[in-house]
Amino acid sequence: MSVNCSRPVERYLMASLWSPGIFLVLVLALPLKTLPLVTLAETNVYIVYMGDKLHDEPELVQESHHELLADIVGSKDAAKESILYSYKHGFSGFAAVLTKSQEKLIADFPGVAGVVRNRIISSHTTRSWDFLQVKPQLAGRISKGHSGAGSIIGVMDTGIWPESKSFRDEGMAEVPSRWRGICQEGEGFNRSHCNRKIIGARWYVKGYEAEFGKLNTSDGDEFLSPRDAGGHGTHTSSTATGGPVESASFMGLAQGLARGGAPISLAGRLQSLLGYRWLR
């Protein structure tokens, strides 16, 4: 019955559209009209900062992020898909893939302190302490203070080259039991690369890949792991925590004594890495 009914309509359509001009216009107009609505709403990664966390339980903090975002993107499932990272320990916030208009909406939400767009930071610079005009006397003072014994330092940078002599752990005590970080594995980096000096390492690539697509590491410019391809992170972590290494240089440049500020320099590109080192 429905077939019979539709036939005259079909014939009518065919007749009225059977002009090559109109036909072409329709074929071109359909994708042009529908695409922008469906797929071309441009998205970017934004970091939503919410200040102090309102719960002590990390899971509750993360749950509050999903609830807030669900109001913007329509559902909890969509919220979970759009969130890349939840910040739920030191403060409350999250990184999410949003359109410009969603970003505007969320910025006005109660409890949201600020929203910043994700961006790529390029690294500069063996002599950070000289640049900062920190004198050896200070290093002496640090030594008197047992050179940071018992301290745990977190460094956010391009990663770490764990074979560097700066990170040898001879003579170091066991990892403190209060430490709850992990040694995250990846390309060229496994758990055996952490030691009593590098007590943890993590890598973060979701923000980059959400905006620019899969990171192709075949050229060796990056590792999908805490391993540092560019050298900046190794430089800054050893500046912060490394023991002194004579004749250190970056491929023959900037040769000199590399020393750690607490008996120690760093930077980053596509992947921001969080490495933790424990000082002597």
Ligand X SMILES: *[C@@H]1O[C@H](CO)[C@@H](O)[C@H](O)[C@H]1NC(C)=O
Least CB distance to ligand X at residue 43 (A): 22
Residue 192 binds to ligand X (criterion: CB under 6 A): yes
Shortest separation between residue 214's beta carbon and ligand X, angstroms:
7
Nearer to ligand X by Cβ, of 227 and 235: the residue is 227
Nearest alpha-carbon partner for 160 in 170, 172, 168: 168
When asked if residue 213 is in the footprint of ligand X (CB under 6 A), the reply is no
Shortest approach of ligand X to residue 64 CB, angstroms?
A: 38
* Of residues 19-38, those binding ligand X (CB under 6 A): none
Nearer to ligand X, 67 or 221 (CB): 221
From candidates 218, 247, 251, 253, binder to ligand X by CB under 6 A = 218
Options 219, 220, 247, 253; binder of ligand X; rule CB under 6 A = 219
What's the min distance (Å) between Cβ of 192 and ligand X? 4
State the Cα–Cα distance between residues 218 and 6, nearest whole angstrom.
57
Give the shortest CB-212-to-ligand X separation in angstroms.
13
Does 4 bind ligand X (CB under 6 A)? Our answer is no
In the complex, minimum distance from the CB of residue 218 to ligand X, in angstroms, rounded to a whole number: 4
Is residue 136 classed exposed, middle or buried when 0-12, 13-18 and 19+ CB atoms within 10 A define those classes? exposed
Rounded distance, CA 165 to CA 4, Å? 83
Q: Which is nearer to ligand X, 52 or 219 (CB)?
A: 219
Can residue 216 be called a binding residue for ligand X (CB under 6 A)? yes
Q: Which is nearer to ligand X, 46 or 167 (CB)?
A: 167
Task: Write out the H or E segment, with its range, that includes residue 222.
Answer: none
Total residues interacting with ligand X, rule: CB under 6 A = 5
Task: Pick the piece of the chain touching ligand X (CB under 6 A) from 43-51, 124-132, 215-223, 231-239.
Answer: 215-223
Binding-site string for ligand X from residue 160 to residue 189, where x marks contact by CB under 6 A and - marks none: ------------------------------
Instruction: List CB contacts of 204: < 8 A, sequence separation 6 or more.
Output: 85, 271, 272, 273, 274
Residue 206's CB: how many other CB atoms inside 10 A?
14
39-45 long-range contacts, CB within 8 A, separation 24+: 41/99, 42/99, 42/100, 43/97, 43/98, 43/99, 43/210, 44/97, 44/98, 44/100, 44/103, 44/117, 44/118, 44/211, 45/84, 45/95, 45/96, 45/97, 45/98, 45/117, 45/118, 45/207, 45/210, 45/211
Dihedral sign (CA 86, 200, 161, 231): positive
CB of 162 to ligand X, least distance (A): 9
220 belongs to the binding site for ligand X (CB under 6 A): no
62: nearest Cα among 76, 44, 43 = 76
Q: Which residues bind ligand X (CB under 6 A)?
A: 190, 192, 216, 218-219
